[in-house]
Amino acid sequence: MADRIGSPRHILSVTDVSRPWLDALCARAAAITRHPTRKPLTGRILATLFYEPSTRTRLSFEAAMLRLGGGVISTENAREFSSAAKGENIEDTTRIVEGYADVIAVRYHERGGAARAAAVASVPIINAGDGPGEHPTQALLDWFTLAREFGTVDGLRIALVGDLANGRAARSLAMLLALAHGVSLVFIAPPVTPMGTDVKAYLDARQVHWEETTDLRGALTDVDAVYMTRVQKERFGTDLDAYQAARIYTFTPDMLSALPARARILHPLPRVDEIAPEIDADPRAAYFRQAHNGMLVRMALLEWALDAHE
Residues within the interface to ligand CP (CB under 6 A): 54-57, 129, 135, 138, 268-270
Nearer to ligand CP, 138 or 166 (CB): 138
Q: Which of 63, 69, 62 is nearest to 43 (CA)?
A: 69
Active site residue 56: yes
Amino acid in position 103: V
Active site residue 235: no
Active site residue 57: yes
Active site residue 292: no
Catalytic annotation, pick one of 28, 67, 107, 264: 107
Neighbours of 281 (CB within 10 A): 7
Minimum gap (Å) between residue 175 Cβ and ligand CP:
17
Q: Which residues pair with 48 in a beta bridge?
A: 74, 105
Catalytic annotation, pick one of 57, 75, 193, 229: 57
Q: Which of 97, 116, 120 is nearest to 108 (CA)?
A: 116
Exposure class string for 228-262: b at 16+ Cβ within 10 A, else e: bbbbbeebbeeeeebbeebbbbbbeeebbeebeee
Minimum gap (Å) between residue 92 Cβ and ligand CP:
25
Residue 141 is given by DSSP the state H
Three-state secondary structure call for residue 228: strand
Residue 51 · residue 107 · CB < 8 Å: yes
Nearer to ligand CP, 102 or 130 (CB): 130
Nearer to ligand CP, 113 or 268 (CB): 268
Minimum gap (Å) between residue 137 Cβ and ligand CP:
9
Three-state secondary structure call for residue 184: strand
Catalytic annotation, pick one of 10, 56, 116, 271: 56
Nearer to ligand CP, 105 or 246 (CB): 105
Dist. CA 59–CA 69, nearest whole Å = 15
Catalytic annotation, pick one of 33, 86, 181, 238: 86
Minimum gap (Å) between residue 138 Cβ and ligand CP:
5
Catalytic annotation, pick one of 9, 135, 264, 267: 135
Active site residue 135: yes
Minimum gap (Å) between residue 304 Cβ and ligand CP:
20
The residues annotated with a catalytic role in the active site are 56-57, 86, 107, 135
